[in-house]
Structure 1
Amino acid sequence: MLREINNIDEVLAEKIYNIWKDSVLNTHDFLLKEDFDFYKVYVKEAILNLKYILVIEENGKIVGFLTPDFENNNINMLFISSKMINKGYGRTLIEYGIKNLNLNKVDVNEDNIKALKFYEKMGFKFKSRSSKDDFGKNYPILHMELK
């Protein structure tokens, strides 16, 4: 079940953070430990400051989420609990985001091959590349857009 949430409290933020952490630890094998430690501080704070989040639940438990950048029609974050990957939850979140939130762009780590293939399967195409991420770290980012 999809649910749009406009009020992120500390309990929800912790659940979302734990999904992010689990997903990253199980899918971002290219990420250095010190960089993971850096990002987790930023992500925890960013989640607390969200004004909107789209979550997907199974049996009343959140198993994934999407955060949009409405100004730029961009998917900021899309993470699924590692045990729930490849069960259609990411597709459901993306399709809802495209149809109902007007999202048509996404940035993905170049080294995250599974995510890259997933977004390509969803219709996103390569637009441009940045050699570093938004924090100046050496993780190339591919900017993708629906065509």
Structure 2
Amino acid sequence: MPTIRSSTPADATALADIWRASVRATHDFLSEAHFAEIEALVAGHYLPHAPLWVVEADGCPAGFMGLTGAHVDALFIDPRRRAQGLGRAMIAHAEAQAGKLTVDVNEQNPQAVGFYERMGFMRTGRSAVDDAGRPYPLLHMRQP
């Protein structure tokens, strides 16, 4: 069973590495300019300051999740640790904290869409652009 704990400022570098590897493995639709723009925000502002949940495997961070109320803001698993139940454990942890969950997921990331559908999420809507107005459609999903 993986360990899930609150993040600390000391986790920021490892979590940024996980974010980069995960995005490179699943977000081939991002332009390099947008990747660099988002990376600066994630690594410089979000990860060092946001209250996050960290999942550990073998005593090391293997993924993280941002949760605001019942909304999953972010869920990234180290690509080398995928298909080991870590994402499922994070969703179960979030459900225990907040009940039925919602999430917005990039439509162009079929692996993530499939994961959330396997976790019981249903599509409830779509936005043509992401939260920053970039041309990456979002699917709005929720658990029934």
State TM-score, norm by structure 1.
0.91
CA RMSD of aligned residues (A): 1.2
Query: Which residue of structure 1 lines up, in the alignment, with residue 95 of structure 2?
Result: 98
2: distance between equivalents of 1:48 and 1:103? 27
Matched, 1:141 2:138: yes
Query: Which residue of structure 2 lines up, in the alignment, with residue 21 of structure 1?
Result: 20
Matched, 1:125 2:122: yes
1: distance between equivalents of 2:55 and 2:115? 18
- Which structure 1 segments of 5+ residues have no match? none
Structure 1 residue 102 displacement after superposition? 2.8
2: distance between equivalents of 1:79 and 1:134? 18
Aligned-residue sequence identity (percent) comes to 33
SS in 2 for 1:66: strand
Query: Which residue of structure 2 lines up, in the alignment, with residue 83 of structure 1?
Result: 80
The answer on whether the counterparts of 1:132 and 1:141 sit within 8 Å (CA) in structure 2 is: yes
2: distance between equivalents of 1:137 and 1:27? 17
- Which structure 2 segments of 5+ residues have no match? none
Query: Which residue of structure 1 lines up, in the alignment, with residue 35 of structure 2?
Result: 36
State TM-score, norm by structure 2.
0.93
Residue type of the alignment partner of 1:122:
M
2: distance between equivalents of 1:124 and 1:2? 24
Matched, 1:55 2:54: yes
1: distance between equivalents of 2:99 and 2:21? 28
The answer on whether the counterparts of 1:68 and 1:103 sit within 8 Å (CA) in structure 2 is: no
The answer on whether the counterparts of 1:124 and 1:146 sit within 8 Å (CA) in structure 2 is: yes
Query: Which residue of structure 2 lines up, in the alignment, with residue 5 of structure 1?
Result: 6
Q: How many residues matched?
A: 142
Structure 1 residue 103 displacement after superposition? 5.1
The answer on whether the counterparts of 2:3 and 2:57 sit within 8 Å (CA) in structure 1 is: no
SS in 2 for 1:25: helix
Residue type of the alignment partner of 1:66:
M
Residue type of the alignment partner of 2:3:
L
1:109 is matched with which residue: 88, 106, 109?
Answer: 106
The answer on whether the counterparts of 1:2 and 1:54 sit within 8 Å (CA) in structure 2 is: no
Residue type of the alignment partner of 1:104:
L
Q: Deviations over 1:28-49 (max 9, x none)?
A: 1111111100100111111112
